[in-house]
Amino acid sequence: MLPRRRIFRPAPSPRAWRGPLLLLGLAAGAATLVGLGGPTQLFGNSPREQEWAAAPADVRVVDGDTLRLSDRIVRLRGLEAPARGQACRDAAGREFDCGAGSAEALSRLLGGRGVSCRVRGRDRFGRGLGQCSTLGGTDAAGVELNGALVSAGWALAEDEGLAGMEGAARASGRGLWATGVRPPEGWSASR
């Protein structure tokens, strides 16, 4: 008896098709995302500027220069406020928490209103850096928080645009520049 001969070829191994099929699937998935209006910034390109807003119930003062807008944290751009727990001295020589004073001043400026911020960039902690204003209330235009906090004397200007406001606050003796108050250590009175 003669040995049987095979007259067909065996099917190709499924492993040989794994690479091309995977690439085909990824290409189809990417095309579907783009075609259905998926994210257009897939490779880390984010918009240079973003608008963040929050209703009054979603706004929290974290620090003298930091706000929580719902689930986002924004640091006011162009200024530096003392951190909570930073000690200042009043005219009588008593210590007080000037960071808490700065946070209270920001809270008064908010006045229970919502906030809108134009966010551009991030700080070293990943917080959005924003130019923020209040929304609604009796003044339709709202209060520009960055300038108002520096102008009230509760923050230092890091931006040239706010330097004049800091100078006016010092000259008028507002906030941390009130007569007899010594700002926190590390803050230069000649700045």
Closest residue by Cα to residue 68 from 84, 52, 91 = 52
Q: Which two tokens stand for residue 90?
A: 């009043």
Identify which of 2-6, 30-34, 38-42 has the greatest average pLDDT. Answer: 2-6
Domain boundaries, given as residue ranges, for the chain: 50-177
Percentage of residues of the chain with pLDDT beyond 90: 45
**For the whole model, what pTM was predicted?**
0.69
Choices 2.40.50.90, 3.30.1360.30, 1.10.3720.10, 3.65.10.10: CATH for 50-177: 2.40.50.90
C-alpha dist (Å) from residue 34 to 22, 45, 68, 109: 19, 15, 32, 43
pLDDT class for 189, splitting at 50, 70, 90? very low
Higher pLDDT, 22 or 52: 52
C-alpha dist (Å) from residue 81 to 1, 45, 102, 114: 98, 31, 7, 21
Residue 125, SS3 per DSSP: coil
Q: Summarize the confidence of residues 71-85 as an average pLDDT.
A: 92
Paired with 135 in beta bridges are 114
